[in-house]
Chains A and B, each alone.
Chain A
Amino acid sequence: MSIAIDQVTATFIAESRELLEQMETALLAVARDGQDAVNAIFRAAHTIKGSAGMFGLDPVVEFTHVAESVLDKVRDGDVDVTDELVALLLACRDHIGALVDAVEGGTLDGNGDLAAAGAPLVAALQAYLGGPAPVPASGAGEPETPDAGDGHWHISLRFGRDVLRNGMDPLSFIRYLGQLGTITGIATLADDLPEADAFDPESCYLGFEIGFASGADKATIAGVFDFVREDCQIRILPPENRIAEYLAWLDELPEQRERLGQMLVRCGSVTAHELDLALAAQAVASAPVQPIGEILVGQGAVRAPVVEAALAKQRQAPEARVQQETRSVRVDADKLDRLINLVGELIIAGASANLVARRAQNAELLECTSTLSGLVEEVRDSALQLRMVKIGATFNRFQRVVHDVARELGKDIRLDVSGEDTELDKTVVEKIGDPLTHLVRNAMDHGIEPADVRAARGKPAQGTVALNAYHDSGSIVIEVSDDGGGLKRERILAKAVERGLVEAGRALTDKEIFNLIFEPGFSTAEQVTNLSGRGVGMDVVKRNILALRGSVDIASTEGTGTTVTVRLPLTLAIINGFQVGVGRSVFVIPMEMVEECIEFRELPGCDWVDLRGQPLPFVRLRERFAVAGTAARRQSIVVVRYGGRKAGLVVDSLLGEFQTVIKPLGKVFAGARFLSGSSILGSGEVALILDMAALLAGVETESQAAAA
């Protein structure tokens, strides 16, 4: 298969997945949004079917078609949207997703497993259609589209001037159209043809009004014109409500109304009688000219909203599409990663150029390198920005999780989402999905109480799980909270003692106790459910988050709810770092966490210093990393803040701010605590990036232990 076809298929796959996502969102919002959501679901299914048809992906077309027929009935109000139907349609959505996956994997044809998986869904869908399941079309026989029947479409085409020059001939489009149905009438509009002198024989001035009888659906018909969609005005009026829409459209072009009306008649799209009636009524109504649409509405022939809605839809659809297409470009993530890697190399190379310039003490060269590093910094920011995505899409996926899990548990639970616009690196987004899913499931399973307990506690019957995101000192913070029963302090403690995680009788703060649930093999669920309570879970969540250089925290009030706070770095690639020296080693502290630097004055026997009247615990990096040699005569303290905690780091020297390209630590260092990565300096030496979460957590426990 040629590359071009593969690319087109890839576009189909990407688009279908987007549509499936929209479909899912709409399905979950159907109770709230009603008709709008139903329309969105229908459109998504319809478009997938149409595109699949163009690629000859029959299994996709056949399955989607059945779902679409049911949706059509829903749209017409013949079938009510019940929870069961939503669940069924969600399952159908998943099946279509599986079919699309099969297309991608090239395993669609003759895939018996998929067909078997789809069969019960089709049967369930058929129940809504009120008929027995039809014998599946076996190769022979046209795929039918009962929603359109052999409807009479009207297509209005105005080709762009450059169509011919671009090597496309309007005639061939019309010819191709003829293969999808029967052209019942055609009128060629040559009104735009200029005077002979001004006529450019290589420009296209033609327009066509076409009456078209076909059983194809709108997407298929529109697909004919895919190649010229951008520089042409195309209107495809469906069989139903054709006259109303057409007349309304005529009103938009008052100067050509009568002529166009006649053409319509010629194409057989409107009968002369229908047009005469409308025009006569218009004449009677006399000046000021009342639009035909209004007259028909006045006569009760057409309902006003129908006309308006039809018009609004027709107008919006192509415009919105064109705008989106021109405003964004799909880029392969690999290409982006490569760009960012190169920017990383650029930064390292820039740093070493800077170093050489400084050593040479050449003022001109220094100036050049400083301009250069300014630019590199901007390039870095915009390159990283490219990979920033809003977390909203990830959050919205949880609507489905909550919906499904709530059904499974038999609880009524709502998901509240806020901070969807918070941006973070795509690579982080990809890796945060699983831990978040676990946290949300956990909140629903263990957090939210059964309805009777909630009622007894005077809470609303519907439980709430909330997802929130915001930026805080160079990190993104994601909160998963629930308004459930909260963590039971005593029980966690008892269990921890039983498991030997904590010595009996030891005084622990609430926070320490709550954080015990992240210990491996810890689970307090009284009953093991399908979802959680098997003892794997929270420790895996914590491990995954730590692997992203993040941290996780938990706060809970018994009876009112629990909040799990996940803190992650904004990016995994490049940061602004503050370099400090200890002996001959260089360490990097993420710049966003640095509050200030002060002189270190040691008080004997004290592991804190006085920071403007506040005690500030500190860590000696020299001790923590067992750096050999004696401390410098004048040591400094870098005051850092992380997740609401403040602490000082005692260092020998302050080296200043540098861009830091984060390199992962080798496997040898996998066990090293307090380090989150490494970086290469301009001189070629290696600097170690400090893991603030781990360092500061140590400070807190130690100072508390000292206090206790």
Chain B
Amino acid sequence: MNIGDTSQGAATCLAVEGEMTIYRAAELKPVLLDLVLTHAAPALDLARVTEFDSAGAQLVLVARREAVRLGKRLELRGASPAVRDAFALLGLSPEGESA
């Protein structure tokens, strides 16, 4: 259940570990939005997310849309099986724009 920042040049990558579910949604929202707001090339690493539900998907969608609004692009660096599975189920692409 860690949120770690690693800066690699201009891109700042936020790594979420553990659950990304309704139980942590309130905690994660400001972190994710802050990432999108303050960095020029925000990136998200979800490789170590163990649980991922609709609330988690909503967070990613909102952050991604917010990035687009600011003229940026939120890059998704890694996705754990839980995340991939949920994205596939929802018909969302982990990479590009989605509906």
| Contacts from A to B (Cβ < 8 Å) | 159, 164-165, 169-171, 174-175, 178, 183, 185-190, 193, 196, 199, 201-202, 204-206, 208, 263, 266
Please tell me if the beta carbons of B55 and A201 are within 8 angstroms of each other in the complex. Answer: yes
* B40 within 8 A of partner (CB): no
Q: Which 8 A-B pairs have the closest CB atoms?
A: A201-B25, A186-B91, A201-B29, A169-B53, A196-B66, A188-B90, A170-B54, A164-B22
* B7 within 8 A of partner (CB): no
Q: Complex formed: what's the CA distance from A196 to B74 in Å?
A: 14
Residues of A within 8 A of B47 (CB): none
Closest to B22 in A: A164
* B76 within 8 A of partner (CB): no
Q: Complex formed: what's the CA distance from A186 to B87 in Å?
A: 11
Q: Mark B27-39, 1 if CB is under 8 A from A, else 0.
A: 0110001000000
Cβ-neighbour of B54 out of A185, A206, A266 (below 8 A): A206
Please tell me if the beta carbons of B26 and A196 are within 8 angstroms of each other in the complex. Answer: no
Interface size on B, residues (CB 8 A): 25
Closest to B24 in A: A201
CB of B82, distance to nearest CB on chain A (Å): 10
* B57 within 8 A of partner (CB): yes
Q: Complex formed: what's the CA distance from A187 to B91 in Å?
A: 6
Residues of A within 8 A of B89 (CB): 171, 174-175, 178, 183, 186
Q: Complex formed: what's the CA distance from A588 to B54 in Å?
A: 69
Apart from the given pairs A190-B99, A196-B66, A201-B59, 14 other A-B contacts in the complex at a CB distance below 8 Å: A164-B55, A170-B54, A174-B89, A174-B90, A178-B89, A186-B89, A186-B91, A190-B61, A196-B62, A196-B63, A201-B28, A201-B29, A201-B55, A202-B22
| Contacts from B to A (Cβ < 8 Å) | 21-22, 25-26, 28-29, 33, 53-55, 57-59, 61-63, 65-66, 86, 89-92, 98-99
Please tell me if the beta carbons of B54 and A193 are within 8 angstroms of each other in the complex. Answer: no
Q: Which of A169, A189, A193 has the most CB of B within 10 A?
A: A169
Q: Complex formed: what's the CA distance from A697 to B30 in Å?
A: 86
Please tell me if the beta carbons of A171 and B53 are within 8 angstroms of each other in the complex. Answer: yes
Please tell me if the beta carbons of A199 and B54 are within 8 angstroms of each other in the complex. Answer: no
CB of B78, distance to nearest CB on chain A (Å): 20
Cβ-neighbour of A202 out of B26, B62, B63 (below 8 A): B26
Please tell me if the beta carbons of B54 and A202 are within 8 angstroms of each other in the complex. Answer: no
Q: Complex formed: what's the CA distance from A35 to B45 in Å?
A: 60
Please tell me if the beta carbons of B86 and A171 are within 8 angstroms of each other in the complex. Answer: yes
Please tell me if the beta carbons of B90 and A171 are within 8 angstroms of each other in the complex. Answer: yes
CB of B71, distance to nearest CB on chain A (Å): 15
Closest to A173 in B: B54
With A185-B91, A186-B91, A187-B99 already in contact, the answer to whether A193 and B86 are too (CB < 8 A) is no
Residues of A within 8 A of B26 (CB): 201-202
Q: Complex formed: what's the CA distance from A148 to B26 in Å?
A: 44
Residues of B within 8 A of A188 (CB): 57, 90-92, 98-99
